[in-house]
Structure 1
Amino acid sequence: MTRTARVRPTRTRRGPHIPTLPQLLATAVEANPGGLAVTVADADRSLAALSYAELDERSNRLARLLITRGIGPEDLVAVGIRRSLESVVAVWAVAKTGAGFVPVDPNYPADRVQHMIADSRAVLGLTVADTREVLPTTLPWLELDTEEIAAAAQGYPAEPVTNADRARPLRAE
């Protein structure tokens, strides 16, 4: 008696689709590109604002700059910027690279900031010129409001960042 082998299809459970943070951000932009994404009152009480489309474009450009520096999934980037438009752009840009961000309050004591950076093993920091002096020198920092960094970021496309652009693929798991 000859037996023949049969290949039976396996049944796997597929859970619900878990979106990545960049996908959630893209959804917000698609839903309301002209809508107000962030507003910040300056010290003189003047308001600065960005629409979702503007925030998306600025963060895509900065994300691409970070990607060229090797930043991607599994990396951590310190964000040492007080609440501002720049801080929101920085967090969005880091998320779009697939990296995680470590929020660093420049008002914290220096030893606490140093411990946070060392403990997190952040590979890069983002800041602005008026905050740079209070941040530790043990980490390379990009000052986002300098002409050099602003011009470099402006030189990158504003199109959405994809896995093909990232240093490594980003997966929800």
Structure 2
Amino acid sequence: MDTSTAISTAKVLGPTISLATAGMILSISAFSTPLLSSDARSQSSEKPSPSSTLPAIRFIFSRGSHVIPESAAVAAANFGFLAYHAPSTVVNVLGMEIGSRAGFIAAGVLSMAIGPITQIMLPICNNPLREMGELERQGRGSEISEDDLKEMVQKFEWLNYVRGAVILAGGMLGLAVITA
């Protein structure tokens, strides 16, 4: 593959993968976690049921951990490739003038920023949710406070929105630099 074909491919893959990954992350917060923070089987209960919520969270965590980090890395690699091959030009993005290389580097950094954000999320909400999930898996779901479970799911939802917004910003910045 010649360099011009590789650059054209990276211009498609970088923003597309970044934006698709943002869509996956934001969809979890917009559609899944609101259902998980209440008992989906009961319209009268505003508290989540450990027996239905925790297996669903375990499923979300296991699928996300196999797809999202790799997608962010591929998007960032494409932006890095574009930064390496970008001409030394200045582009106008949202009324700001930035170098095209700097724009691609920033897009790559924003795409990879979900890693540190995830590391912040782990001790705050993901680890407690995993611990609750392990109790539920062992048949000890009655030991789990529904209020604590709801609080952890809601923290996960909002921290996940932050994670999605950051990679979304990376994809949009990369796209803006490409189209400028």
Q: State the TM-score, normalized to the length of structure 1.
A: 0.28
Q: Which has the higher strand share?
A: 1
Q: Pick 1 or 2: higher relative contact order, CA cutoff 8 A, min separation 6.
A: 2
Q: Which has the higher helix share?
A: 2
